[in-house]
Structure 1
Amino acid sequence: MGVEFGLLGPVTARDPDGTPLPLGAPRHREVLGRLLIARGRVVPVTRLVTDLWEDRPPAGAVGAVRTFVAALRRALEPARPPRRPSRLLVTDGPGYVLRAGRDAVDAWRFEDTAARAGQAPPHAAVALWDEALAHWRGPVLADFPTAAWAAAEQARLEALRLDAVERRADALLATGAARDAVADLRAHVTAHPGREDGWVLLATALDRCGRRGEALDTLRHARRGLTGAYGPGAEAALARAEARIRSDTSGLAPEPAGAADGVWDRTAAAWARSVPARARARLHATAGLLRDLAVTGADGLEEAREHRRDLVAAAERSGDPVLAARIIGSYDVPAVWTRADDPEGAAELARSAARAAARLGPDGPPALRARLLSVVAVESRGDAAAHAPVPRAAEPPAAEPWRLRAERAAEEAVSLARRLKDPALLAFALNGAFMQSCARCGSAAHRDALGSELTRLAIDHQLPGHEVLGRLIRLQALAGLGDLAAGDAQAEEIDRLAHRDERPLATVFTAWYRALRRCATDGPEAARIPYARVLAETADCGMPGLTRGVAALVALVPVMRGAGLPDPDDLAHLDTGPYRPWLEPLLLAAAGAAEQARHALSTVPRPPHDLLQEALWCVLARAAASVRHGPVLRRARDELAAAVGEYAGAGSGLISFGPVTEHLKAVDTALGAYGLVAQEDDTA
């Protein structure tokens, strides 16, 4: 019928020639607007009455609505013969429906054009975003700014408009037209100062125009405003943008001389031009980049850890459970340290993977389910997934639901991967099984078997990253078992592979292993210099879960390999980091604060289920023996009994407190010395 309607501004109707149609009084336009936002659905007369007269409808309200509709029909179809039914504004059951096509309403054309822009390459996207935004003539349903019936649609369409402005700017930046984006973005954030993405885009555009100082000033101004209006934490994206701009030296870097660098630059530029902004392909490509970035070194690992959280959040916001599952499950970066570098982040990722697996259900794609379960197992390392207080060391062992879930996830992932006969998937699942192999003390032989299977699998199927992981697992396990000759062979092969495949983080572990080996063969005094060197060399390796607090453990090696207590002054200047709860009772006992040490032993949580748990149980046992704390002493004995034949702490590849057997003998001696006093101590 050719009539075009307008919602993006005052309510309008135009004939095929573009001539405005006379819609009459405000009530007529209000009825038209209400029918338009119904999007082809019937609006009962009673609903129209309620919407038009929000307080108290007059007695003749129904008749008035029918009069308004009749007037609209005459205005919209002036050539319609008398008594012929309207084909545009139709009576349907208890109400009315406006039968307008998608092309007939400016709001719908805006949405359709925006959808095409979101799927277009950047250059084409800019033109489409311009076309979409050109439909706007003012605020949505501008004639009725306070009408309750209009509020939801006004808010929805305005949110889409603001997003379109930002996505247009994003596309401009992708085409290299940063200067063209600046003016529009300034107006945008001035009118809508709470739009964090708008501020980030403006700062990015300014930076790409060579105005870095102005870009940083813009971000600082925005952060102050957002923090004041929305509270702390509202400006996380701004902080990341500031860090990125400060660290970006690309504008000062020389032109790449290598052929590979040139290919990289040209390909990256072609990708930015060709792939639509915010397309799903960008999420998948980003996931692949982050996998590779994580193994490039300390800086890359830290960057990958930060950006991975943002990527997962973006995938979850997409509303597509399969897309989210694929993104979350794609990060199969080999992980060898069983204490999380970022416990909160690890727990968040484990929860995201668990949610994605639940949405897919047990009948979802088995390979995808196996990947998600592997993520749960890997990220639930140590106590990262704990959502309740960890049981105390002085208490009998108790079931811990979060640990049981992680263990079951690892088992199911391995089972699914074996059934699917997918080598890469099995390698990832075995990594999860390794992370959950520390559920109890004395698992070095089991970890050696896992490492051996992973190494063979990786060699047979050309998985170099997982070959390094398999050998690292074996290196640690062999140290725990005291087989240092076999450990040396693994260390040599790891160093060779790390050099060949550019895996610098692997050599962090071989450096620590060699310091441990020197200590094991020549004694703590001979290892003093090697340990000092490795502490300095690996301090900034990007793995705080590995390095933080480890200097205190190194200082304890000569003490724990003997029979006494440490000199508190020897550790006073050291950061005990995450190990403080388990070292504190020993340090208090050494300082003569027996009652405080006993209290600390009564409240300390059991050691984390990681590669240092045997070492920490030995530390607790030494403290408990010195202050006659029976419950912790007996619990330590029960836990360590499973590790007979291993070396306490050596399974970490970092330090060794000597044979577990020697520590058990000391525990038995202390328990025997208690006699009947032990029962009295149990109630302390």
Structure 2
Amino acid sequence: MRIDVLGVVRALHDDGSPVDLGGPRHREVLARLVAAEGRLVTTDTLVNDLWTDPPARAVGAMRTFVAALRRALEPDRPPRNPPRVIVTEGPGYALRLPREDVDAHRFQDTLARARRNAAAVPDLGAALAAWRGPAYADVTGSAWAQRERTRLEELRWEGVELRARILLGFGEGADLVAELGAHVAEHPWREPAWELLARALYRAGRRVDALATLRRARAMLVDQLGLDPGGDLQRLETDILNGSAPPEGARTAWTGPGVRLGPRTTVDLARTLALAGGDALVRSRRDRLAAIHAAERTGDLSLTARIIGAYDVPAIWSRADDPEQSRTVVAAAERTLTGLGPDGPADLRARLLATVAIESRSADLSGTELKHAQQAARQAEDLARDLADPALLAFALNGVFLQSFSSPGLAAARDRTGAEILDLSTRHELPNFAVLGRLVRLQSASALGDLDAATSHANAADQLAATTEAPLVSVLTGWFRARAMAARSAEPGGPTAATAAAHYRAAEDALRTAGMPGLHRGLFPLALLGLRLLHDRPAPTDPHLDWGPYRPWTRPLVLLAQDRGEQARNALAAVPEPPRDHMREALWCLTARAAVRLGERGIAARAADALRDACADHAGAASGMLTLGPVARYWAEAEACAGAG
């Protein structure tokens, strides 16, 4: 669930439906606990904050409000089980939710990251867009709420200005004019807002408007406040008059304040940063997109094709980290391919087609889009083979690999692709693609349950990563070793399930800051579920687990573990077909297990049919990061259920 206070106070279930919080006093109690940011709020403080003149039974009323909120926020909590959201702590209460589940906390954390690292600017934009009005908008007449509202509003203004300053540093201008104009109109006393608006106008080529804006700022400050403009405004006016303020060039992409690079240089830097992971990986995506936009503005198709195709960063995961950006890159590649035509340079067309194949790996692709991406992968491979370009062929084969999850049971075919990538990169000194080849082969061996072969590839990948400075590799191999530990925990004399869970937790801690949300979100809970299934235990029911994109398939088993059979049956009926990615077989196995437990013969038959060709594989192990055990076990159960009666 999540709680929002940037606007009226509300709470939402994890499916997006609203929680009935009760009356104004109930919402104010919850809001006051949110404002404490997880710290204890004593009962006396709550009473004094809610009532200017507390009634005689204020403490009793307060406890009634808290009890009602607990029922609303945790409707399924069994009797006599302690609450987990609003907890009793000493002489008062505290709210126990992850900071990312409360919009005010999420906004403050995002702003703090953006202050430290400009790569967080896309997240800052999203956090600013999440504001629905003044903070605690429906908590009126309370001094504590007014103080908190004022504090958060000041941070909001700072966030708007910080985001604009970072984007101006990246070379944007025209797109910020309207936004900054509205900001100045709403807050005319903020000198930084006037400065940023003038800079945006100047960057957009509107020198006269920029000077007029600075004159308006001067007039407002002098006439209404009796103050001269600050030094920053005065220096900016002088720089614009002298022509020394740097405008954005039509062929320039920006990587940071005061640093300009040509588009090709920028994308080369982005490619290098991508291999470093973490904030650098996030920055690399941003710089790549900036370079593509800059190249497209030149109208030079060949330049644009080279910029798009130069980002040949090996990709191992079949779900995009930033689906929206992937769609933007694919659209740019498609436009450029159309402009070049079928007779355009074969090497440029091959790189564009490989880019389409690699970036078209989001879970929400339609059937037509999927077929188009698979066709692009095959065309890129054919062109690269004809050109006898090993680096280009390795890049194209990366696209072939990512588009190979359309049907179950293709681990052996993917291993052949990985072997060719490894051979090409070894013979032609392409170390980053050598790492990719090892990881593809690790995943393939893991899918087939060959832990010895997979371990050998993991060790070799780690050795390569040490020489290529690719820290993300150890994150992935660390997950594989946790996956292997989980599998062995189900064997006689193997490690305990608790030991395997601890290894998954350590792997999760390493992944959290790796900058790969398409891989990270939901992976740890799914790994724990797989570990429990290996030991014939029910699904984990911790409400704080974020199941991410896997929630529809895990939900029936979680509900069954909570003895909510009818709701589990409804959830199973609503389960969609799994996306064609690394987890396809695993999600079908979860569907099969739930169908068997609920006696849903029709769904069991569908699952058995989907899994038939994957019976030699281990569920989820195609990821190289977790396992649910042999697919054959789930297939046999589903087959028996489907044929029962």
- Tell me, yes or no, whether TM beats 0.5: yes
Aligned to 2:26: none
Aligned to 2:598: 627
Partner SS state of residue 670, structure 1: helix
The 2-side partners of 1:296 and 1:349 are apart by: 21
Cα distance 1:307–1:217, how it changes in 2: closer, same or farther (>3 A)? Answer: farther
Cα distance 1:333–1:193, how it changes in 2: closer, same or farther (>3 A)? Answer: closer
Aligned residue runs from structure 1 range 283-682, under 5 A? 283-386=263-366, 400-523=367-490, 524-563=497-536, 565-566=538-539, 569=541, 571-673=542-644, 675=645
Q: Over residues 455-493 of structure 1, what are the superposed CA-to-partner deviations in whole Å (9 max), with x where a residue is unaligned?
A: 000011110100001101111111111111111111111
Aligned residue runs from structure 1 range 25-40, under 5 A? none
The 2-side partners of 1:531 and 1:648 are apart by: 17
Question: Offset of 1:420 from its aligned partner?
Answer: 0.6
Q: Bigger shift: 444-453 or 632-641? A: 632-641
- 2:519 partner amino acid: L
The 1-side partners of 2:642 and 2:178 are apart by: 65
The 2-side partners of 1:220 and 1:638 are apart by: 61
The 1-side partners of 2:411 and 2:193 are apart by: 51
Kept in 2, the 8 Å contact 1:382–1:609? The answer is: no
Partner SS state of residue 608, structure 1: coil
The 2-side partners of 1:638 and 1:371 are apart by: 37
Question: Offset of 1:293 from its aligned partner?
Answer: 1.3
- 2:503 partner amino acid: P
Q: Over residues 606-652 of structure 1, what are the superposed CA-to-partner deviations in whole Å (9 max), with x where a residue is unaligned?
A: 11111111111111111122223333322211111111111111110
Cα distance 1:450–1:563, how it changes in 2: closer, same or farther (>3 A)? Answer: same
Q: Over residues 573-619 of structure 1, what are the superposed CA-to-partner deviations in whole Å (9 max), with x where a residue is unaligned?
A: 21111111211222233334334333333332211111111111111
Partner SS state of residue 526, structure 1: helix
Q: Which stretches in structure 1 are left out of the alignment for 5+ residues?
A: 1-172, 175-187, 200-212, 224-275, 387-399, 676-684
RMSD: 3.2
Cα distance 1:222–1:590, how it changes in 2: closer, same or farther (>3 A)? Answer: farther
The 1-side partners of 2:597 and 2:462 are apart by: 43
The 2-side partners of 1:468 and 1:216 are apart by: 47
Q: Over residues 339-392 of structure 1, what are the superposed CA-to-partner deviations in whole Å (9 max), with x where a residue is unaligned?
A: 111122212222221222122222211111111111111011142544xxxxxx
Kept in 2, the 8 Å contact 1:379–1:385? The answer is: no
Cα distance 1:434–1:542, how it changes in 2: closer, same or farther (>3 A)? Answer: same
The 1-side partners of 2:180 and 2:416 are apart by: 49
Aligned residue runs from structure 1 range 254-269, under 5 A? none
Kept in 2, the 8 Å contact 1:350–1:385? The answer is: no
- 1:316 partner amino acid: E
Partner SS state of residue 635, structure 1: helix
- 2:482 partner amino acid: A
Q: Which stretches in structure 2 are left out of the alignment for 5+ residues?
A: 1-168, 183-189, 201-247, 253-260, 491-496
Q: Bigger shift: 514-523 or 485-494? A: 514-523
Question: Offset of 1:216 from its aligned partner?
Answer: 7.7
Cα distance 1:599–1:314, how it changes in 2: closer, same or farther (>3 A)? Answer: farther
Aligned residue runs from structure 1 range 205-284, under 5 A? 218-219=195-196, 277-279=249-251, 282-284=262-264
Partner SS state of residue 611, structure 1: coil
- 2:560 partner amino acid: A
The 2-side partners of 1:432 and 1:585 are apart by: 34
Aligned to 1:194: 177
- 1:432 partner amino acid: G
Q: Percent identity?
A: 43
Kept in 2, the 8 Å contact 1:367–1:416? The answer is: yes
The 2-side partners of 1:217 and 1:630 are apart by: 67
Kept in 2, the 8 Å contact 1:334–1:469? The answer is: yes
Q: Over residues 302-351 of structure 1, what are the superposed CA-to-partner deviations in whole Å (9 max), with x where a residue is unaligned?
A: 11112222222222233232222222122110001111111222122222
The 1-side partners of 2:544 and 2:530 are apart by: 16
Kept in 2, the 8 Å contact 1:347–1:384? The answer is: no
Cα distance 1:629–1:352, how it changes in 2: closer, same or farther (>3 A)? Answer: farther
Give the structure-1-normalised TM-score: 0.56
Kept in 2, the 8 Å contact 1:618–1:648? The answer is: yes
The 2-side partners of 1:193 and 1:476 are apart by: 45
The 2-side partners of 1:348 and 1:605 are apart by: 26
Q: Over residues 19-60 of structure 1, what are the superposed CA-to-partner deviations in whole Å (9 max), with x where a residue is unaligned?
A: xxxxxxxxxxxxxxxxxxxxxxxxxxxxxxxxxxxxxxxxxx
The 2-side partners of 1:370 and 1:632 are apart by: 42
The 2-side partners of 1:617 and 1:222 are apart by: 54
Partner SS state of residue 618, structure 2: coil
- 1:594 partner amino acid: G
The 1-side partners of 2:613 and 2:535 are apart by: 22
Question: Offset of 1:217 from its aligned partner?
Answer: 7.9
- 1:627 partner amino acid: L
- 2:177 partner amino acid: G
Kept in 1, the 8 Å contact 2:180–2:196? The answer is: no
- 1:298 partner amino acid: G
Partner SS state of residue 506, structure 2: helix
The 2-side partners of 1:492 and 1:443 are apart by: 24
Kept in 2, the 8 Å contact 1:601–1:629? The answer is: no
- 2:285 partner amino acid: R
Kept in 2, the 8 Å contact 1:350–1:379? The answer is: yes
Question: Offset of 1:220 from its aligned partner?
Answer: 9.1
- 1:347 partner amino acid: R
The 1-side partners of 2:191 and 2:583 are apart by: 49
Aligned to 2:53: none
The 2-side partners of 1:522 and 1:586 are apart by: 22
Kept in 1, the 8 Å contact 2:347–2:383? The answer is: yes
Cα distance 1:560–1:196, how it changes in 2: closer, same or farther (>3 A)? Answer: same
Q: Bigger shift: 308-317 or 433-442? A: 308-317
Give the structure-2-normalised TM-score: 0.59
Cα distance 1:521–1:593, how it changes in 2: closer, same or farther (>3 A)? Answer: closer
Kept in 2, the 8 Å contact 1:374–1:413? The answer is: yes
Question: Offset of 1:563 from its aligned partner?
Answer: 4.5
The 2-side partners of 1:492 and 1:193 are apart by: 49
